[in-house]
Structures are given as C-alpha cells and as structure tokens.
Chain A
Amino acid sequence: MQNQGSLLRWMRSLFAVAVCVVVAGHTPAAANTELTVYSAYENDDLKAYKAAFENDNPGITINWVRDSTGVVTAKLLAERENPRADAVWGLAVTSLLVLDEFDLLQAYTPKGLDKLSPAMRDSSGSPKWFGNSGWICAIIFNEAESKKRNLPKPSTWKELMNPAYRGQIVMSHPASSGTGFMYVSAWLQLYGEAEGWKFMDALHQNIARYMHSGSAPAALAAKGEYAVGLGFDVRGSRLKEEGAPIDIILPRDGLGWDMNTMAIIKGTKKLEAARKLVDWGVSETANKLYGSTRSIAAMPGYAKPLAHLPGDMDIRIMKQDFAWAAKHRARILAEWERRYGSKADPKKT
C-alpha cells in the first residue's frame, strides 16, 4: 500500500503539471519582433530564406508556419475573423487572390517593385501581392515503363488525347489541389473554354487517377506506377537526379505556370516588420536565392537553369490571367465536378 500511495501522489502531481501546461499554453514572444509567416515553401527553402532575411534585418525573427498550399489557404480563411499570421511568403497567387476577395491583404508598395517582371506583380495602383518565383506545368514521362507498354512520347498536351494512353496518366485533382487547378485553368486559357473542355473530355478517358496532392503525380510517374504524370518541373528535376528513368517534357503548344507570392495580412500588429519582410522579399538578394532552386525568378534573369531543364523558362511560358482564374474558380470547379467528378469506378490499367 505504501507504494500505491506514492504512485498516486506521483500521478496527482503529474496531473497538476498537466493542467498548468495546458492552461499556460503559449509563451509570450521575445523582446525582438517576431513575425508569424505562413508558407507553403519546402523545408529547405524555409531555412535558407529565414537565415538570409534575418541576417539582413537584425531585430526581426521569422516564425514559420508551414503546410501545403490548400491547408495554408484553408487556415488563413478559417482564421479571417481573428488573423494569426502577419504575412504570407510562398503561396500560390491563385490562393492569394481568393484571400483578397475576402479583403484579407494589406496594400503596400515596396522599394524596387518595378524591377520585378510585370507578369509577376500586382499591377494595380495599390499592390497587394508580390511575386517570388514560378514553376511550370510539365509532363513527367517514364521512359522505362513507356518502352514496356509501347507508348509514344508526347510533345504537346493534345497528343495526350491519344487512346494509347488510356489508364496511363495521373494528374492532381483540381478540386483538392492548387496544382491540379492550375493545369485546368491553363488549358482553358490556352485553347479557349469550349475547346479546352473538349480536350479535357478526351484526356479524362486516359486518366487513371486524379490525385489529391500536387507532387504525387510526378512521384508516381517516377516510380513507374503510371507512365505519365502531369507534374511540375522542380519536382521532376529532383526525381531525375535521384535516378528515376524519366524525361521532363515541356509541351510545345503552351506552358502553363503558377507563381509563389508573398503578401502582408491586413490587421497585423507588426506592420513595420511585415513591410521590411516584403521589401526584402522583392530585393535582388532574395531573387538570387529564389532563382537558385526554381526555374523562374520574379526579377528577370535571376533564375539558374534546373538540372535536366532549359534555362530560358521565363520566355517559354504562356501569358496567363491569374485574376480571371481566381474569379472563375468556383464556376470552373463546379463544371469540372459535373463532367468528371461523379466517376465512381477507377479506370482499369
């Protein structure tokens, strides 16, 4: 019984500690300004960007909150009555435009904004979002599997309509992933709506699965789970470096793309520091950093070519109207769901 008693006392004090911890919750911020920045950049990028920014801006610390594009956007919208982020750094422009519709972004004109390429900044009088870098819609083509299945190598999007690819193509689900939506919106702008949907009708016949994530299609094609993955360039380049037997095809009929952007969240109590973040985020130093791992930097000429890819991406990409895409997103997704969403049974391979 003696032991029982001490066990109990131990449990009781643990319980007390637990209550304290749960109640105390957060510790107050340190003396210097701590910026809470939401991001969908990858971990490697976050480390490099934070170190470089803090080095140039002593007294400001970045506190990253990182997640996938969909989750970060959902979080910002869910928190809109009570924003917890001071700024966003590294989110798809289409997501920022959705946030703008809810009036969540603070306008600001940072120094040197005009040095960014016009396609990669908000050209309105009171700019609210600022481009960092871009990525490109590519076709990740598994050479080994295609040889086994005698598949031709496509050089345009439209060649993917060929019935030979039936059940061989994977892409992101436009309703679950920003990447998937980027493809759909690019095709609609490239071919016009009527022809764009006709293309997707045919493509749909060949799609094996619509994945819920943006990076999965490239990964699945690299593993040979499917022969063709509609995935983005950065990912494909990295997988090829790891030894995947793939070719990264940039379709000749038009290169859709998306942009990583930053913005200040309206109502932040740390506006000064947030402005400094944006100032730095559009600077030459920052663009050099973006360009070291992406095929497009907002400041023209700063991107180094990725392994296995050409260097002149900012010339190859198509002209894309992101505002149009954001405005019609709900309608396009509803139409997409109507046409392809109710497909219950997966296609056989």
Chain B
Amino acid sequence: MGGIRQAAPLGDRVLGAATVLVAALLIVGLAIPLAIMLAKSYQDSRGAFVGLANYAAYFSSPAPLASIGNTFVIGVVSTLVTIPLAFAYAYGIHRSRMPGKGVFRAIALIPLLTPSLLFALSFVQLFGNQGILKDLLFGQTIYGPIGIVAGMTFAHFPHTFIIISTALSLADRRLFEAAESLGTSQLRIFRTLTLPAAKYGLVSAAIVSFMLSITDFGIPKVIGGQYDVLATDIYKKVIGQQDFELGAVVSVLLLIAAVLAFAAVRTVQRKQVAMMSTRAIPYEPRPRRAFDTVMFLYCAVIALAIVGIIAVAGVSSFIKFWPYNLGLTLRHYNFDLAAGGGWQAYLNSLKLATWTAVVGTAIVFLGAYQVEKSRGMTRIRQLIQVLAATPMAVPGLVLGLAYIFFFNDAANPLGFLYGSMGILVLVTIIHYYSVTHFTMVTALKQIDADFESVSDSLKTPRYRTLWRVTVPLCMPAILDVSIYFFLSAMTTVSAVVFLYSTHTSLASIAVINMDDAGEFAHASAMAMVIVATCIAARGVHWLLTRGIQRRTQAWRAA
C-alpha cells in the first residue's frame, strides 16, 4: 500500500464514477422499462398508438371489475386478519415475562425463509377436497378467497410482525411505572399508553400487509381457484392469451394501487414523531402470572401453526400417491422426473441468490454511501434517492413484464442480457432495492460524519476512509443486506416468472410449474429444498454476524 498518496485522487474519482454507475443502473433497470411499459399500454399489438383503446377493451367486460374488487377485498381482509394476530404475538414478546421469547421470535420469522407458495400447497393438502381437515371449513372450499387469505396471513406474518415489534420496543418504562403507581388499570394503560405509541407502527404494518397482498402472485395462482385478482389477470393475459398490451394495462392498474398504498405509508411515517426522549428507560415487563400464561399459550399456538403448516408440506413430499397410496418414497425429490427444470433449476437458484447477494450488496452500499456521505453531484444523489425508493411500489410482475418490453427490443444494445442469468440478477436486485437501500442508509447515518471531515483535513483520500473505517463499521448491515438479497432471490417468483429461460429456470419457478402440471408432491419437495437452503444460509449469516460483531462492534456497547 505504498503508493497511496499518488493514487488518492484516482481512487476518489473511481468512487465518483461508481456513483454515476449506480444511478445509470437504476435508470436502465427501473426507470426506462417502466416508462416503456406505460407506453405499451397505449399501443396495439403492432406498436401503433391507440390511445385508451386497450383500457376500453379491458373494461368492456365485467370480469376486470370483479378482479379489481377481489384484489381490494383480499388486501383488506388479509390485512384485518394478519395485523391483530401479529400485534398480539409481538405484544406477548415485548410486554410479558413468558418463557421462550427467543424461540417465538425466531419462529415468527420462518416464513421469510419459505417460498410463499408453500403455504398454499399445504393448505390444499389440509383443506382440499381430499384434505384431512376439510370438515373444519363447513362446506366452504379452500380454493378461493379463504385459501388466499389463509396463505397470505402466514406468508406476510413476519413482515408485519417486524414492524409492529419495532414499534412496541419503543416504550418508556417511566411512563408505565407512573401510570401503575397512580393505580391505572391495565386495560386503560393499554388504551392510553400502548396503543397510541404503537399507532404509527400498526398503520405502517397494515399498509405494508395490504400492499404485499394485492401484489402477491404465487398464492392466488396456486390456491385461488376461480377467484381472479389483478396479479393472476396479468399472468393470464400474457401467458394464456399472449396479449402483452392488455397485460400492460392491468400492470398499470396494479402499479397505481401499489403507488397509492406506498404514498400512504410515507405520509404515516413522516407523521411519526420521536416517542422516546433521550432520557427514556427501556420498558421491562413485570411478571404477571395469568397474563404471562395466556400470552405464552397464544404465541405457542401461532408458532405451532407456522411450524406445522411447513411440516405438512414436508410430509406430503414423501407420500407415494396421495390419497390412494400412503407409502413413503423419495421419488418426488428426483426433480428430473417432473416439470420445471430438475435439479439444475435448484443450482440456478443458488447461483442467482449468490450473485444477487454479492453484486446487489456492493451496489446498494455504493448507492447509500454516496447519498449519505459524499459531497457534490447533488443532482445524481437526489436521483438515486428517488429511484431507490421506487421499487417498493412496483409489483414484481409489473417489473418483469416491463423488462420483456425493454430488453427484448431489437434496438436495445443490452438485448444480450435477455434470457441470461444476468437479467435475473438485475431484476432481483432492483425488485428488492428499496428495503436494502434504507437499511444501509440507516446504518451509515449512525456513523459520525466527523470521520469524513477529519479524513479530509488530514488529506486522507475518501476511499481509504471508506475501506478502513466505514465498511468495517457497517459490516452488520452489509451482512443483513446480503442475506436479505439471498433469501429473496431463493424464494422470489413474481419478478422472474416472465424472464427465466430454459437454461436459467429457477427452483421457486419450478414449484409453480410443478403445481401447474399437477405434480403436487414434487412441488412440495422442491419447496422443502428451498426452505432447507434458506435455513442453512440464515445459519451461516448468524455465525458471521456474531464473529464480526465481536471484532468490530465493540464501540456500540461503549
């Protein structure tokens, strides 16, 4: 490292160039494809401008109105079911003295490690016409809104749980002690202290749950039966009828709904004022026997349900021919016998997840670093900031369809990406960009800006401070972002379903295709392989984080 002094300006220039690169990536991977898709919705199949004709054609039959209504109903109902369940669960963890909190917390997050379809597959197994628990439905069918909502409740549980959990962890012990010493009843404390403090967290969680529910594609596809929603409509238009223009119309509708929901989340978040003063003391629940027991039982039931539903898929993947031959077999793990690309699909998924984690983390870190720490290039930094927040409001299917339009254009010099692993990596990074970007920005904000000014006054090049100080300090966030990318890439369906090719078929897509072809046991088996992989990845992440925390994060405790 002798020549650092001479190389300094070069290093910083490379850093500057990287900023432009991140901005360019967001423009090419997000802004342009979306713009082209919007344009497509105003064109006929040969590319001529037809104004609102596609919209008129779409709305000419009553079916689309039903789809819009259904999408809304699913969004609202699944939110109304998920939020109270997740709230009570988080409440138990934060406000009671029940045993096993660590286990309960871990189990609540398990659905993040599974493809959301797995829940739908298990529900079919349990409540389908040949299901063991069919009678619990009292003659209702699982194929439809009931199945969709049930599947979504499980699949979206961790997302809402995390948000509510954060809100509940911000409680000032002094307030609660004051209330109790004044003899306030527990119910009143809950109503006047707990709920108002968690209000914004609850609203945020509700909108996030709504947004996830209206844009989810896998669950309605597997268990929705005749209950059409916008997400399955897009798929039907594009894959079933090869009508890309109407697909674009439905995409625009879904995009509008998602953007509205997203705007609502932002408004709520902006209203949230700091509930915690610097002198606050974190809340420590006191033992209350009856309450603790009730909370323990409640959390145990939910945790058992989550583990049980996943176990059902596991068991059904070993059964020879349900329900006529209940012998056990490993045959369904021979994926070469089924649709979807065999074990190669699984290897492709591993490849995609690894590339997404490595490349995605590097890009997100660079983008966040520039937004947070660099000087100059204000315009580009603002652009990154705006574009980084956008993917949150863009449903995966919409992004995927937009990519077909853009990358398959004969005039596009990037056309070689089409059908390659590269386009899958790109779309996955962009699809999950927002959450990772904000995680990274938050981590960077915690590092004092003085490091940069001190390094400037000492004439140390910025990139050296970055390598030597900033990156090591941010290591936990960097690991979090990379595991998030990895898990998302292993389980994602919606963003890649239009973009995979024969040579880049993926495990998560194979689950859909096997279910589609009626190979249900194979589908469960592949879903279980994905779950096992994600659990292993999570284990590695935990070990790495622990190791690094010991070495680089001692300053936090100080």
Contacts and interface: CB of A to CB of B under 8 A. Distances in A.
Are A and B subunits of one complex?
yes
Contact of B241 (A1, A78, A333): A333
A18 to B, nearest CB: 4
A175 B246 CA distance: 13
A245 interface: yes
A219 B422 contact: no
Contacts of B321: 223, 242-244
Interface string A90-107: 000000001000000000
Contact of A216 (B63, B322, B516, B552): B516
Given A81-B410, A82-B415, A224-B130, A176 B236 contact: yes
B410 A25 contact: no
B502 A64 contact: yes
A197 to B, nearest CB: 16
Interface string A281-322: 000000000000000000000000000000000000000000
A82 B409 CA distance: 7
A65 interface: yes
Contact of B355 (A18, A43, A216, A235): A18
Contacts of A1: 468, 472
A348 B236 contact: no
B62 A342 contact: yes
B226 interface: yes
B286 interface: no
A178 B409 CA distance: 27
B47 to A, nearest CB: 9
Nearest to B241: A175
B517 A216 contact: yes
A18 B519 contact: no
Given A11-B358, A243-B324, A337-B61, A346 B143 contact: yes
A68 interface: yes
Contacts of A235: 518
B263 interface: no
A295 B415 CA distance: 41
Interface stretch (A69-77, A188-196, A256-264): A69-77
A26 B420 contact: yes
Contacts of B552: 4
B273 to A, nearest CB: 38
A341 B244 contact: no
A345 B144 CA distance: 7
A70 B239 CA distance: 5
B227 interface: yes
Contacts of A66: 502
B144 A346 contact: yes
Interface string A1-17: 10111001001001100
Given A21-B422, A70-B240, A348-B139, A209 B226 contact: yes
B221 A78 contact: no
B408 A349 contact: no
Nearest to A216: B518
Given A70-B239, A219-B517, A210 B226 contact: yes
A348 B417 CA distance: 47
Interface string B130-150: 100000000111011000000
B471 interface: yes
Given A65-B502, A226-B129, A22 B144 contact: no
A219 B519 contact: yes
Interface in B466-498: 467-468, 471-472, 475
Contact of A78 (B408, B475, B517): B408
Interface string B210-251: 000000000001000111100010011011111010000000
Nearest to A14: B358
A223 B410 contact: no
A146 interface: no
Given A8-B471, A43-B336, A84 B129 contact: no
Contacts of A81: 408-410
B463 to A, nearest CB: 11
A334 interface: yes
Contact of A342 (B66, B355, B420): B66
Contact of A22 (B129, B221, B422): B422
B3 interface: no
A176 B239 contact: yes
A171 to B, nearest CB: 12
Interface in B410-468: 410, 415-422, 425-426, 467-468
A120 interface: no
B518 A218 contact: yes
A32 B410 CA distance: 26
Contact of A8 (B418, B426, B467, B551): B467
Interface in A173-207: 173, 175-177
B419 A4 contact: no
A25 B424 CA distance: 12
Given A4-B552, A73-B242, A341-B61, A212 B467 contact: no
B70 interface: yes
Interface string A42-84: 1100000000000000000000111110110110011101101
B508 to A, nearest CB: 16
B323 interface: yes
A98 B241 CA distance: 11
Contacts of B324: 144, 224, 243-245
A223 B355 contact: no
A77 B241 CA distance: 11
A338 B518 contact: no
A82 B419 contact: no
A344 interface: yes
A34 B552 CA distance: 54
A33 interface: no
A237 interface: no
A268 interface: no
Nearest to B46: A102
Interface in B319-346: 321-325, 336, 339, 342
Given A21-B422, A65-B502, A345-B226, A223 B323 contact: yes
Contact of A177 (B240, B501, B520): B240
Given A209-B225, A341-B63, A26 B416 contact: yes
A346 B225 contact: yes
B61 A338 contact: yes
A226 B239 CA distance: 26
Interface string B282-322: 00000000000000000000000000000000000000011
Contacts of B518: 213, 215-216, 218-220, 222-223, 235
Choose among A208, A342, A347 the residue with the greatest number of B CB atoms under 10 Å from its CB: A342
B533 interface: no
Nearest to A222: B518
Nearest to A15: B362
A225 interface: yes
B61 A344 contact: no
Contact of A223 (B226, B227, B322): B322
B389 interface: no
A212 B422 contact: no
Contacts of B404: 78
Given A8-B471, A212-B516, A223-B518, 11 more contacts: A5-B468, A25-B422, A68-B516, A82-B415, A176-B235, A213-B517, A215-B516, A219-B518, A223-B321, A338-B61, A344-B66
25 contacts: A15-B359, A18-B355, A18-B362, A22-B355, A25-B416, A26-B416, A43-B339, A65-B501, A66-B502, A74-B242, A82-B410, A173-B236, A208-B141, A215-B518, A216-B516, A223-B322, A224-B130, A341-B61, A341-B63, A344-B226, A345-B226, A346-B144, A346-B225, A346-B226, A349-B129
Interface of B: 61-63, 66, 69-70, 128-130, 139-141, 143-144, 221, 225-228, 232, 235-236, 238-242, 244, 321-325, 336, 339, 342, 355, 358-359, 362, 404, 408-410, 415-422, 425-426, 467-468, 471-472, 475, 501-503, 513, 516-520, 551-552
Of all A-B residue pairs in the complex, the 6 with the closest CB atoms, nearest first, are: A219-B518, A176-B240, A82-B410, A213-B516, A22-B422, A342-B62
